[in-house]
Amino acid sequence: MSKDSKKNLVGQPVFKQIIQIIPKDKFDLIVKRNQSDKFYKSFFTWDELVTMLFGIFSRCDSMGEVCDGMRALGGKLNYLGMDCSPAKSTAGDGLRERDEGLFRQVYEMLIEHFQPLLSVSRKADIQFEMFYAFDSTTISLFSDVLKGTGRNPKGDGKKKGGLKVHLLTDVHSDSAKFANISEAKMHDKKFLSKLSLSKGSMITMDRAYNFYKQFVAWTEEGVFFVTRQKKNAISQVIEILYECSQTDKEDNNKACVLMEEHIHLTYKEGKELKPLCLRRVTYRDEKGRIYHFITNNWNITAEEVALIYKYRWTIELVFKKLKQNFQLHFFYSDTENGIKTQIWCTLIAHLLLNVIRQLSKTDKAFSTVAALIRIHLISHLDVMWVVTEARRTYAKRTKSKNKSPSVVQMSLF
């Protein structure tokens, strides 16, 4: 069969085209500020980032696979600004010794750099321009370098380690605004104070983040929130603002607001108990499940309160993308610094793919784009063509080159 000539070949591999998206001048400023290349004669910070991204995009299971895979590329490493493939021991030393905080700064720089591009879309049914979701996901480790959660194993078994990735995402653009990595045993609510939210913004989160002192601080700063009330929370009903009719209560197949209340929750400040004035919305969904939402916003409708919390699910989809499309089951280092570095580089890879999707304006799923990039990582194809088209057509031939053997030819065998 003859190939179609429309291959969209370019002079650089797909991987190089992705790496070029990173603003190298801003990256170099971070390296210079942290002096991360000061005592290195080889395997500089840029080399480590490229090596990690290669392993993450190609889903290698170990640093040995990453280094051997890059060694097989030969001269193509020149496109990436590297003279040669790093040795496994050299790459391992870099993961162990180079501070993971530097890659966190790189990730935060990229979030800020690409924010204008990723913020073009917005949810039409939400009136808040600044709308965020906050949550965490746990990643299990087969080592105890980071303290994990779970039951103690029986016998001589070893308890797994674990880490948590805390993310604040922009719901409108499905892009991260803040990230933090901690031991899995650390309580989630401790990170609420680290969030920098502007006046007039709305944040939604699960009930694990019920932290009344932080709610008071947000209310004073003009930051709004929607979350679920804990089952064991003790509240005082000040006033019933709305209660649905008896007919609506009996119709379990109908989604509706059952009740709207003005409540007080108590929190401790020093030795004194103080009241926290909130609005509680009791909502029943289409499946008959009852939810108790609390918020400090009194202007939006009760239906909007339920809708805002429903959008909290978008951050779960972000975690799903990270775990299903990137290699977070195997780590290239057994040190805390190396594990966190790999997590930061995975978040960078996720951000770069979101940028590619936005630039190409493709409607393909994130998993499809990640698979196409992995398959064509070293192909000399236009990355935008790979993401949007990724098809090579073949013209159908009416005659075959290999003719069937004649009867005389067959008789010779």
Q: pLDDT by residue (tens digit) across 116-169?
A: 888 777 788 888 989 999 998 888 776 555 555 544 555 544 555 678 888 999
Asked if residue 249 has pLDDT above 80, the reply is no
CA 162, CA 185: separation in Å to the nearest integer? 8
Q: Report the percentage of the chain scoring pLDDT > 90.
A: 40
Give mean pLDDT, residues 9-28: 89
CB under 8 Å to 347, separation ≥6 — which residues?
107, 165, 176, 179, 322
Region of 132 please: left (phi>0), alpha (psi -120 to 50) or beta: beta
Model confidence pLDDT, tens digit, residues 281-336: 999 988 889 999 999 999 999 999 999 999 999 999 989 988 889 888 788 888 88
Whole-model pTM: value is: 0.82
Asked if residue 2 has pLDDT above 50, the reply is no
Question: Which residue segment(s) compose the domain that 85 sits in?
Answer: 2-101+337-395
Instruction: Record the tokens describing residue 411, joined without a space.
Output: 């008789």
Asked if residue 122 is part of any domain, the answer here is no
Model confidence pLDDT, tens digit, residues 199-238: 999 999 998 888 899 999 999 999 999 999 998 888 999 9
Confidence of residue 1 (pLDDT cuts 50, 70, 90): very low
Asked if residue 398 has pLDDT above 60, the reply is no
Structurally, the chain folds into a number of domains equal to 1
Model pLDDT, residue 146: 59
Asked if residue 75 has pLDDT above 80, the reply is no
Radius of gyration of the chain (CA): 27
CA 70, CA 52: separation in Å to the nearest integer? 11
Asked if residue 380 is part of any domain, the answer here is yes
Q: Residue 295 pairs with which residues in a beta bridge?
A: 226, 279
Kindly compute the dihedral angle of the four CA atoms of residues 30, 33, 35, 36, in this order, to the nearest 10 degrees: -20
Q: Report the percentage of the chain scoring pLDDT > 70.
A: 85
Do residues 226 and 199 lie in contact, with contact meaning Cβ atoms separated by under 8 Å? no
Asked if residue 347 is part of any domain, the answer here is yes
Asked if residue 271 is part of any domain, the answer here is no
Model confidence pLDDT, tens digit, residues 28-72: 999 999 999 888 888 899 999 999 999 999 999 889 998 888 887
Asked if residue 375 is part of any domain, the answer here is yes
3-state secondary structure of 284: strand
Asked if residue 130 is part of any domain, the answer here is no
Asked if residue 26 is part of any domain, the answer here is yes
Give mean pLDDT, residues 235-247: 87
Model pLDDT, residue 270: 77
Asked if residue 331 is part of any domain, the answer here is no
Q: What share of the chain is helix, strand, coil (3-state, %, to 5)?
A: 40, 20, 40
CA 88, CA 76: separation in Å to the nearest integer? 19
